[in-house]
Structure 1
Amino acid sequence: MNFALTEEELMIRDSARRMAGEQLGPLVATLDRGGGRQEFLDNLRSAARAGFASLCMDERYGGANATTVAMALAIDEVAYACPSTAVTLALTNMVTFILQAFGTDEQKDRYLRRFADGSYVSGAFALTEAGAGSDPASMKTRADLEDEGFVLNGEKIFCTSAEYAGLFVVWAVTDRSAPKGKGISLFLVEAGTPGLVVGKAENKMGQRGSATNTVIFEKCRIPRSALIGRLNDGFRIAVAELALGRIGIASLALGIARAALDRTKEHVKQRVQFGQSLANFQGLQWMIADREVDIEAARLLILNAAAKRDRGEPFAREASMAKLFASEAAHRVTDTAIQLHGGFGYVEDAGIERLARDARVTRIYEGASEVQRMIIARHALQ
């Protein structure tokens, strides 16, 4: 299979690399310590205006009309410098994907350009609930139809970017008598809508620059025009979104892994013990070699899933494979990085322990590794 990148894909990758190195990297330590929020938002707005929040969006709405491969490359490069920015951009690209794929012309005209020009620094998904994480079909948030529109009531958790998102994509039950997963619909809710309450940000282990909030809907009234797609068809849209989202998170995990391994290679070449560089010890060389294989295998799985989507082929199985392998590989790479840095890897100054913390959640969100194995097994046994 030919994985040669097009001229446009190379241009997007290189542009993302420059932006990440110049704007995002210098802020990452500050974000990890809880500061730099305004600079973070400014960087998101700048990235949006450069096209990184609307990579696969049609040009008529201000998007880059890029390939899924290009999106994966860009998220990888951004994550190499700042995983918190990468997860925000990956999620925003998923919001614009849903809008473009399932929204009405009126919805697309109203909202898509706001992502492309930076008016919205991010979008947010309101899907997960306390009792509906890996099993989103068990959600309890409901949207009751009244004469003038819908009334949302319920609570969502782990909503990335909720406190600064301009637009929420919200899943809710619209037919409580329907079989599980069949009576769910999807809605657009603008930030500031009465009845939409954003809770305080969670104090997280990693990716601390990205806010993660509880979102509560208390008699939140939205018009009928807020419905995306057909009534009671929202779960199907969620499944389609999650497959693409897994390519984005796999790419994010890859970027973290590459950053950790690059720092580790420099460290073992410079660190001298027993009168010679650590890079001269065969046991350490083999550890590096295994992690190089992890990174290359993750890259190829990601590109394969992205290329299949670009060709219009089914790609859910490949996306799950890429997400599973890349996130688990990021764990192995960051753990090896700490080990080869020794005590330096365990303290804050080297930045290696932060990468390990940032990598950990990639095995959980957008479908935990166990869920990915279930999906892969289901395809294998069909």
Structure 2
Amino acid sequence: MDFGLTKEQKMIQDMVRQFARSEIAPNAEKWDKEATFPIEVFKKMGELGFLGLPFPERYGGAGADTITYAIAVEEIGRACGGTGLSYAAAVSLGASPLYYFGTEQQKQEYLVPLIKGEALGSFGLTEPNAGSDAGGTRTTAVLEGDHYRINGEKCWITNAGYAKCVIVTAVTGEDLRGKKVISALIVPTNQEGFQIRCEYDKMGVRASNTCELVLTDVKVPKENLLGDPEKGFKQFLYTLDGGRISIAALAVGIAQAAFDKALTYAKERKQFGRTISQFQAIQFKLADMAMEIELARNMVMKAAWLKDQEKPFSKEAAFAKLFASEMATKVCNQALQIHGGYGYMREYGIERMLRDAKLMEIGEGTSEIQRLVIARQLGCL
């Protein structure tokens, strides 16, 4: 469906879809099996302007809206969940905070290269003991004269191995109530004491680069503080809200790919003298899958539209992320069931999609956290 897309939105959708089908989809199985990050593909995406879609032209971006960006995430995720995840993280987590909260100098120095594809954006929030509880951050940044000294660890950080800088959250002090003040700092990856290890052996999204960060007395100029030091927590909550739209779009893309394969297979596979698509049990599965994908896509579009209109969108982003992620796992599982034993084999790609989809329920806030966010928005907490 085109959802009444504008001519420009439809043009970008077609361009991204063609690119994803020719450059990404044919290699998705290989990248997954070998856990290979397709850096050359990201360089091409930078050249084509994909990495700068939602940013103004004055920084080298395309000046597109969030709806257009969500469409691009869906199309890339439809070809490969891992590539889609790194794309979404590069834009919504790595580059967006620089655009929303950075000074003009920071934008020129750090945002522009990300938009051009000269490096990938990366956001260092999660820690071994502070995943869902981001307020439990233990990484510290102590101001010493004209620089901050940073110490701490981050885990499961997307794209860090191919980033020139990582936006790192750290405790910079306490407020008047004795609560932690969490700020964001731009940390160049070549700083002394900054170790990046990319050794995770993951269940899914294996084409995405995922790293552990260890910061030992890492020094950065105080000018590398991103945004208001007193509002760092609110800043990354806003960043996560935007990121949830992209994860929801990615989940829709993965689910759509699984559905497409299941529908095609059902029309070709014969049992008991007729195609299995003629059996009501299969028809009901496909009908439910199609319906839930469409509902999830509509929720993604609504959240993206609200963001573009500068209206509150936290609740809708959580709706979209929660529903789309759980839908994707369910749809991929049903697609595998329709394929039967063949779905369990690597060659059909369905088992990869199921593994990729599962992360959508975990990253950018687990399903449980999304329900808490929604409850808070409803005034329950």
User: Which residue of structure 1 lines up, in the alignment, with residue 271 of structure 2?
Assistant: 273
Distance in 2 of aligned mates of 1:92 and 1:167: 12
Distance in 2 of aligned mates of 1:201 and 1:87: 18
Distance in 2 of aligned mates of 1:377 and 1:174: 30
Amino acid at match of 2:96: F
Amino acid at match of 1:226: N
Corresponding position: 1:329 with 2:327: yes
Distance in 2 of aligned mates of 1:256 and 1:277: 25
User: Which residue of structure 2 lines up, in the alignment, with residue 148 of structure 1?
Assistant: 146
**Is this contact kept in 2: 1:158–1:214, CA < 8 A?**
yes
**Is this contact kept in 2: 1:138–1:180, CA < 8 A?**
no
1:70 paired residue among 45, 68, 71 = 68
Corresponding position: 1:28 with 2:28: yes
Q: By how many angstroms is 1:3 displaced? A: 4.4
Corresponding position: 1:317 with 2:315: yes
Amino acid at match of 1:327: S
**Is this contact kept in 2: 1:175–1:183, CA < 8 A?**
yes
User: Which residue of structure 2 lines up, in the alignment, with residue 157 of structure 1?
Assistant: 155
Distance in 1 of aligned mates of 2:105 and 2:192: 22
Distance in 2 of aligned mates of 1:49 and 1:187: 28
User: Which residue of structure 1 lines up, in the alignment, with residue 44 of structure 2?
Assistant: 46
Q: By how many angstroms is 1:173 displaced? A: 0.2
Give the ranges of 4+ consecutive aligned residues of structure 1 lying more than 4 Å apart after TM superposition. Answer: 176-182
The aligned runs of 1:214-225 (5 Å cut-off) are: 214-225=212-223
**Is this contact kept in 1: 2:77–2:254, CA < 8 A?**
yes
Distance in 2 of aligned mates of 1:329 and 1:132: 27
The aligned runs of 1:286-365 (5 Å cut-off) are: 286-365=284-363
Partner SS for 2:143: strand
Distance in 1 of aligned mates of 2:179 and 2:300: 29
Q: By how many angstroms is 1:116 displaced? A: 2.1
Distance in 2 of aligned mates of 1:200 and 1:24: 22
Partner SS for 1:381: coil
Distance in 2 of aligned mates of 1:167 and 1:17: 29
**Is this contact kept in 2: 1:182–1:232, CA < 8 A?**
no
Partner SS for 2:153: strand
Post-superposition Cα deviations, 1:168-197, rounded to whole Å, max 9, x if no partner, equal 010000004665765111111112111110
Amino acid at match of 2:7: E
Post-superposition Cα deviations, 1:300-329, rounded to whole Å, max 9, x if no partner, equal 000000001111110000000000000010
Q: TM-score, normalised by structure 1?
A: 0.96
Q: CA RMSD in A?
A: 1.4
Amino acid at match of 1:24: I
Amino acid at match of 2:101: F
Specify whether residues 179 and 3 from structure 1 end up closer, same or farther in structure 2 by C-alpha distance, changes over 3 A only.
farther
* Percent identity over paired residues: 39
Q: TM-score, normalised by structure 2?
A: 0.97
Specify whether residues 134 and 181 from structure 1 end up closer, same or farther in structure 2 by C-alpha distance, changes over 3 A only.
farther
Corresponding position: 1:17 with 2:36: no
User: Which residue of structure 2 lines up, in the alignment, with residue 97 of structure 1?
Assistant: 96
Distance in 1 of aligned mates of 2:179 and 2:49: 35
The aligned runs of 1:40-189 (5 Å cut-off) are: 40-94=38-92, 95-120=94-119, 122-176=120-174, 179=177, 182-189=180-187
Unpaired runs of 5+ residues, structure 2, are none
Partner SS for 1:253: helix
**Is this contact kept in 2: 1:84–1:210, CA < 8 A?**
yes
Post-superposition Cα deviations, 1:130-149, rounded to whole Å, max 9, x if no partner, equal 11111101100000000120
Aligned residues: 378
Corresponding position: 1:282 with 2:284: no
Unpaired runs of 5+ residues, structure 1, are none
**Is this contact kept in 2: 1:78–1:85, CA < 8 A?**
yes
User: Which residue of structure 2 lines up, in the alignment, with residue 242 of structure 1?
Assistant: 240
Distance in 2 of aligned mates of 1:97 and 1:230: 15
Partner SS for 1:220: strand
Q: Which one is further off, 326-335 or 180-189?
A: 180-189
Partner SS for 2:334: helix
Q: By how many angstroms is 1:215 displaced? A: 0.2
Distance in 1 of aligned mates of 2:102 and 2:329: 37
Post-superposition Cα deviations, 1:343-369, rounded to whole Å, max 9, x if no partner, equal 000111111100000000000000111
**Is this contact kept in 2: 1:165–1:191, CA < 8 A?**
yes
Q: By how many angstroms is 1:166 displaced? A: 2.1
Amino acid at match of 1:44: F
Distance in 2 of aligned mates of 1:229 and 1:178: 20
